[in-house]
Amino acid sequence: MTDLASVTCAGCGLLCDDVIVDSSGAAVRLRPECSLGAEWFSQRVRRSAGAPAASIRGQPADVEAALSRAADLLRGARRPLVHGFDWATVEDARAAVALADRLGALIVPGGASGPWPGSPAVPLRGASSATLGEIRDRSRLVVIWREDPVSTHPRLLDRLGFGVGATPRVGADATARLGAERRLVVVDDRDTSTAERAELQLRWPRERDLEALTGLHARHRKLALRPSDLAAQLDGLLELINVVPHAAFVYGAGLVSGRGGQRRALALHELVRALCHDRHVVTLELPPATGTRSVQDVLAWQTGYPQSVDLLSGHPELVTATRPLETGEGVDVSLRVEGAFTKLPDGATEIALSSLPGGSAGTEPEVSIRTAAPGVEANGTAHRLDGVPLALQAPLRGAGPTAAALLTRLLAEIEA
């Protein structure tokens, strides 16, 4: 890679496309400065050059032999699972869906050990969404719900028009100029870097998020509620919403992951739907990984559902049960595509196609093939967290195959 290269950074879901990578020193540096992006590039630029291109049962192998073994495993699978996609491109996701369709597989963005399938709120209820530009230019109120984008998506507040010095901090009870100001509100009981930048912070435990969301919905409909210590905070937030023509809710895993995440997500989207009768209200989800939005969009285009799709019956079916995938479903072969290692269902054999090493001592995949790192060694397309497609460049062109190329070859070998 040249010392200076202009690239799109896939270190987080923002996919900043105005980044210069400087690799002239001992450490990779980014301009504008971003430690998260620098770490992302460093992991891929400095990865071990001596690692084998492929392995079978932990022993070095050539790519052709590894592909043949992977094809044999998938051909004989009774209940295959395709998952991962943490740093996958659109091209990788398209090839994975084609292979999953041929196999009648489950295809699940993310890991096998988390809540499954996470939150089906969008396919069940729909979502009012927006681009970063719309929120920046139109939203007079932005509510960040239990996320800390200053740490996880470092330039998000700048993209939304809340850069340092952009919005003066005033008292939470100063409501006289609500219509003329843009306000940033954080819902979180933690003291985060994002909360420090907010004009108002609302504090209650995460366990009460569902109560808060349904309470806001009920108060918007002017329904009588039993007394609650959240009442004052909810009324204050609703007052802020009621005086603006456009508002946005920013949320992510802090709201929708874990036990009850599906219900909380449904409550948020139902609230937004109700608020839209009087004004325009939108949502922006911060995905858990860079490739999440890309694979969700590909799944939506090709199956009608943006996540957790079962293709066993010959047609796409949305899986709505919420439980750890590792506990059931009879998965016998797992194909991990550009994803981090996660605990597998009991008895499952793993095939890994990844640009970064995965697994731990004693948990090496049956078959592992090293891929060219998207955005560093291989070109591709990725979708920003608001759905905008952006090109990924390859400043360090690698000789290895992409995950998309390997998946296409697997499909051809299985069909041969």
Summarised one tens digit per residue, pLDDT across range 235-255 is: 999 999 999 999 999 999 999
Pick the CATH number of 54-110+291-415 from 3.40.50.740, 3.30.365.10, 3.30.2310.20, 3.40.605.10: 3.40.50.740
> Average pLDDT over the chain, rounded to whole?
88
**What is the structure's pLDDT at 190?**
96
**From CA 96, how far away is CA 99, in angstroms rounded?**
5
Mean pLDDT along residues 44-62: 85
Q: Are the C-beta atoms of 90 and 298 separated by less than 8 Å?
A: yes
Mean pLDDT along residues 354-377: 84
Q: Look at residue 161 and tell me whether its pLDDT is greater than 80.
A: yes
Q: Look at residue 55 and tell me whether its pLDDT is greater than 90.
A: yes
**From CA 327, how far away is CA 344, in angstroms rounded?**
9
**What is the structure's pLDDT at 119?**
55
**What is the structure's pLDDT at 328?**
57
What confidence tens digit (pLDDT) does each residue in 95-111 have?
999 999 999 999 998 87
Residue 220 is inside which H or E element, if any?
Answer: helix 209-220
**What is the structure's pLDDT at 2?**
54
Q: Look at residue 68 and tell me whether its pLDDT is greater than 60.
A: yes
Mean pLDDT along residues 101-122: 75
**What is the structure's pLDDT at 415?**
92
**What is the structure's pLDDT at 139?**
98
CATH for 121-285 is 3.40.228.10
**What is the structure's pLDDT at 170?**
41
> Residues of the chain with pLDDT > 90: what percent?
68
**What is the structure's pLDDT at 173?**
45
Side-by-side strand order, sheet with 19-22: 4-7, 19-22, 29-31
Q: Look at residue 350 and tell me whether its pLDDT is greater than 50.
A: yes
Please state the domain extents for the chain: 4-45, 54-110+291-415, 121-285
Task: Identify the residue with better confidence: 27 or 327.
Answer: 27
**From CA 360, how far away is CA 40, in angstroms rounded?**
20
Q: Look at residue 1 and tell me whether its pLDDT is greater than 60.
A: no
**What is the structure's pLDDT at 165?**
59
Confidence (pTM): 0.90
Q: Which residues contact 236 (CB under 8 A, 6 or more apart)?
A: 172, 200, 202
**What is the structure's pLDDT at 319?**
81
Q: Look at residue 326 and tell me whether its pLDDT is greater than 60.
A: no
**What is the structure's pLDDT at 171?**
44
pLDDT band at 177 (very low <50, low <70, confident <90, very high): very low
Residue 64 CB coordination number (10 Å): 11
Mean pLDDT along residues 336-360: 85
> Bridge-partner residues for 141, per DSSP?
183, 247
**What is the structure's pLDDT at 179?**
42
Residue 32: phi, psi to the nearest 5?
Answer: -60, 155
Mean pLDDT along residues 395-414: 93
Cis bond upstream, residue 32 (ω within 30): yes
Top mean pLDDT of 14-23, 195-204, 341-350 is at 195-204
Q: Look at residue 321 and tell me whether its pLDDT is greater than 70.
A: no
Mean pLDDT along residues 195-212: 97
Q: Look at residue 115 and tell me whether its pLDDT is greater than 60.
A: no
Counting every residue, how long is the chain?
Answer: 416
Bridging pattern class, strands 349-354 and 333-337: parallel
Span of 94-98, 266-270, 309-313, 359-363 with lowest mean pLDDT = 359-363
**What is the structure's pLDDT at 323?**
59
